[in-house]
Each structure stands twice: as structure tokens, then as C-alpha cells.
């Protein structure tokens, strides 16, 4: 295996670790509510606080990665993630009222997450010159991300069988593995050419302003669709996790297995899409559109009183739709900007994705307290909005297939 393949393998471990560190908590949230006596809204904040911190800090991580280098941002971020997981584990193990300290640990994990997975995207873009290779590499990264989501409910449920807080214990372990892989297999690239001056923070803000002045419509719409996709995904996962226990009486490993089925289809769709879309930005647009339309149709027909197999089938179809959309969005963003500003732009995109992750569980938890039947109409409508944004505002031409957003002067 050549150096770039090993580097890609090491980079792919990061979204896997980040996803495991967050998503494997979803199946144990109902158990956590009972163990530490918190409400569904409070348990949703364990997911939400992680994402909110990441949303705020991701743009600065992107700026730093453009300024000092990707690896110098990623490795300290993984260390902070490991520390946050350790604090959560300690609180759950030793304290009678651990909720507040668990939130502190999740806050630190969010800081770490800001400088880890979002910086992976521009790192992959830096590794390859050919856009088709970039698309394939990003497809692998997104597949690793979604594969982590497939494994998360199963691993989370398995670990929680013996001790409910064991998933927290494994966050530092998983983070350490990713750190080792990064240290040995990812070689840092010079973050600036000889004679190139360092960008000041004021220039950084001016660069962002100029990029959005010329390319605001398609960039902002891509950011919004990424946010909506993650809102839909984490929204239905949060509700499905609760429903499996309360309505279908599934617990433990079997609950994790069923929760993983829609994610497995999402993972397969991401892998195939990443391999097939290549560098054609027109194809990317229509893959995003078809993916979100597929999700909208399937979610519209979900009823909370459906039999389990039909419920799971519809969510799996929605997973396929989201799985098609995500790697196309990644490629459109990463290949659409020059390397000098790639970290900044992809970090803003990642912030919007984390906003969706943060909003999904919290909003769905609030709706569950009012009227659960509204949930899937909301999610289907959100997918329709993503379709409209794609159709109206993402309008690449044949000439765009060989061009990127120009670097600001």
C-alpha cells in the first residue's frame, strides 16, 4: 500500500472515531435518562452541546489549518477529544449527580471535533491533483463517517450491556488509535509556498467576504443542504431510538442492530456515490437533488404506528437518499474552491452540518412531547426544501467541471 493510500486510511479513521464518539451515545440515551434521572430534552443536550461548540469553533480550525498546516490542528484536536471522553467516563463512574460534568466533557469533545473531521476534508483535497481522485477520496471519508454511524448503535448497545457509561470510556481509546495513525502515516505538507506571506485574521475575513460576494448563492445553498441532511438524519435516529424501546420493546444489542439498518444503507449509498460522481459538477447537482427527493418521499409515508419492518424499510430508503447527497455535497465544496482557501470554506460547510446534528435531537425531543405524528411530515418537508435549494440555486455549467472558485486577491 503506497503512502497516499495509508494516509487516506489514517484520515478515514478520524470521521470513524468522531462518529463513534457521538453517535454511539444515541442508543443509550433512554438508558442514561433512567440511570442519572434526566428528561429526554436533557439527554438530547448531551448530543447538542457537542455540536454547538463545534459549530462555533470549526471556522477558526479551518483558518488555522490553512495558516499552520492541517496535521498541526488535527492531532491536538484528537487529544482534546480524548480528554473530554475521559471526563465523561469519570463523572459517570464516580459521581452521584454526573450530568453537569458529563456536559463539560462533551463540551471539550466538541472543541476537539471542531479541529478533527472538518479539517480532514481539505486535507484529502490537498493530497490529490486530479478531481476524480479527490471525489473518490472524499467518498471513502464520507463512507467511513457513515460506517461509523452503522457501527455506533451496535457498539454503544454492546458496551452498555455491562456498564451503561462504558461508551464514554472507549472515546479516549478510539481517539488514541486515530492519533497514532495520524502521527505515523500522514506526512505534513508545507502550508505555504516559499515567499508567501502569512494571512492575517483581517485578510482571512476579507477573503471569506470576497468568496461569498462572487459565489454566495451556490455556496450558501450547499451549506444549507448539508445542515438539513444532518438535521433529518439525527432527527429520525433520535426518535427511532426512543420508539424501538417504548413501542417495539427492543433493548440492548437487538435495538442497536435495528437502529443500524438505515445507517448501513446510507453507508453503501455514500460509498457508491463517491466512486461514481467523479468530477462532473452537473452530476453532483442531480445526485444531491435525487437523494433528497428520495428521502422526502420515503419520510412522508412514515407513520409512528407502522409495523417495525415497514418503518425500518422507509427509514432505510431515506438513508439511501441522504447517503447519495452527502458525498456529492462534500465533492462540490472541496473541488469548487482553490487549495489556499479550502480549509476555511470546508470548515464553514462542516459548521453547518454540525448545526443540523445539534438541532435534530433537540427539536425532535420537543416535538415528541407535543405530537409525535408531526415529526416525519417535518422531516419530509425539510427534504423538499433541500430539493428546492438544489434545483434553484446550484447551477453548475459544463465549464465549471474544470474550474474552481478563484482564490481571492
195 pLDDT band, cuts 50/70/90, is: very low
369, pLDDT greater than 80: no
407 pLDDT band, cuts 50/70/90, is: very low
Range from 79-93, 136-150, 189-203 carrying the lowest mean pLDDT: 189-203
Taking a C-beta distance cutoff of 8 angstroms, is the pair 108, 89 a contact? no
Separation between Cα atoms, residue 98 and residue 35, nearest integer Å = 10
DSSP symbol at 302:
-
pLDDT given for residue 338 in this prediction: 66
CATH superfamily to which 3-185+204-402 belongs? MFS general substrate transporter like domains (1.20.1250.20)
196, pLDDT greater than 60: no
Taking a C-beta distance cutoff of 8 angstroms, is the pair 184, 58 a contact? no
Range from 198-212, 311-325, 353-367 carrying the lowest mean pLDDT: 198-212
Kindly report the backbone phi and psi dihedral angles of residue 394, in degrees, each rounded to the nearest multiple of 5, phi listed first: -95, 105
Taking a C-beta distance cutoff of 8 angstroms, is the pair 19, 148 a contact? yes
pLDDT given for residue 201 in this prediction: 67
307, pLDDT greater than 70: yes
Kindly report the backbone phi and psi dihedral angles of residue 151, in degrees, each rounded to the nearest multiple of 5, phi listed first: -70, -30
pLDDT, tens digit, for every residue of 66-112?
888 889 999 999 999 999 999 999 999 999 999 999 999 999 999 99
pTM over 0.85: no
> What would the mean pLDDT of 306-323 be, rounded to a whole number?
94
pLDDT, tens digit, for every residue of 151-171?
888 888 888 888 889 999 999
Query: What b-and-e string marks burial along 140-157, b requiring 16 or more CB atoms within 10 Å of the CB?
Result: bbbbbbbbbbbbbbbbbb
Cα angle 143-334-286, degrees, rounded to a multiple of 5: 70
Range from 52-56, 201-205, 310-314 carrying the lowest mean pLDDT: 201-205
The percent of residues in the chain predicted with pLDDT above 70, rounded, is: 91
129, pLDDT greater than 80: no
More confident residue, 76 or 44: 76
pLDDT given for residue 1 in this prediction: 46
328, pLDDT greater than 80: yes
Q: Classify residue 388 as left (phi > 0), alpha (psi -120 to 50) or beta.
A: alpha
Q: Classify residue 199 as left (phi > 0), alpha (psi -120 to 50) or beta.
A: beta
189, pLDDT greater than 70: no
Amino acid at each position: 500500500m503506497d503512502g497516499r493510500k495509508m494516509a487516506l486510511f489514517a484520515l478515514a479513521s478520524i470521521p470513524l472515531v468522531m462518529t463513534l464518539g457521538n453517535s454511539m451515545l444515541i442508543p443509550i440515551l433512554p438508558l442514561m435518562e433512567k440511570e442519572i434521572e434526566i428528561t429526554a430534552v436533557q439527554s438530547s443536550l448531551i448530543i447538542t452541546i457537542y455540536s454547538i461548540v463545534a459549530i462555533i469553533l470549526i471556522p477558526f480550525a479551518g483558518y488555522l489549518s490553512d495558516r499552520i498546516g492541517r496535521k498541526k490542528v488535527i492531532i491536538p484536536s484528537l487529544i482534546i477529544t480524548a480528554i473530554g471522553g475521559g471526563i465523561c467516563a469519570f463523572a459517570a463512574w464516580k459521581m452521584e449527580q454526573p450530568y453537569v460534568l458529563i456536559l463539560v466533557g462533551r463540551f471539550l469533545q466538541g472543541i476537539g471535533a471542531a479541529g478533527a473531521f472538518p479539517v480532514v476534508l481539505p486535507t484529502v483535497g490537498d493530497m490529490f491533483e486530479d478531481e476524480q481522485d479527490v471525489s473518490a477520496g472524499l467518498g471513502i471519508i464520507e463512507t467511513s463517517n457513515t460506517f461509523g454511524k452503522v457501527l455506533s448503535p451496535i457498539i454503544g448497545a454492546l458496551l452498555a450491556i455491562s456498564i451503561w457509561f462504558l461508551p464514554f470510556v472507549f472515546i479516549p481509546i478510539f481517539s488514541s488509535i486515530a492519533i497514532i495513525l495520524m502521527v505515523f502515516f500522514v506526512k505534513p505538507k508545507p502550508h505555504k509556498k516559499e515567499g508567501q506571506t502569512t494571512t492575517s485574521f483581517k485578510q482571512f475575513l476579507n477573503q471569506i467576504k470576497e468568496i461569498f460576494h462572487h459565489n454566495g448563492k451556490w455556496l450558501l445553498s450547499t451549506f444549507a443542504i448539508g445542515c438539513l441532511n444532518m438535521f433529518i438524519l439525527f432527527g429520525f435516529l433520535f426518535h427511532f431510538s426512543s420508539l424501538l424501546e417504548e413501542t417495539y420493546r427492543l433493548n440492548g444489542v437487538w435495538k442497536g442492530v435495528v437502529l443500524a439498518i438505515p445507517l448501513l444503507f446510507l453507508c453503501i449509498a455514500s460509498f457508491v456515490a463517491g466512486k461514481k460522481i467523479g468530477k462532473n459538477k452537473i452530476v453532483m447537482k442531480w445526485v444531491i437533488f435525487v437523494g433528497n427527493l428520495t428521502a422526502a418521499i420515503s419520510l412522508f409515508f412514515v407513520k409512528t404506528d407502522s409495523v417495525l419492518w415497514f418503518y425500518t424499510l422507509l427509514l432505510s430508503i431515506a438513508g439511501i437518499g441522504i447517503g447519495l447527497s452527502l458525498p456529492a455535497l462534500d465533492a462540490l465544496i472541496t473541488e469548487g474552491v482553490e487549495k489556499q482557501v479550502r480549509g476555511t470554506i470546508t470548515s464553514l460547510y462542516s459548521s453547518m452540518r454540525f448545526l443540523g446534528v445539534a438541532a435534530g435531537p433537540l427539536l425532535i425531543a420537543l416535538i415528541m412531547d407535543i405530537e409525535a405524528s408531526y415529526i416525519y411530515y417535518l422531516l419530509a418537508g425539510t427534504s423538499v426544501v433541500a430539493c428546492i435549494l438544489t434545483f434553484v440555486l446550484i447551477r453548475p455549467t459544463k465549464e465549471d467541471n474544470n474550474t474552481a472558485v478563484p482564490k481571492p486577491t
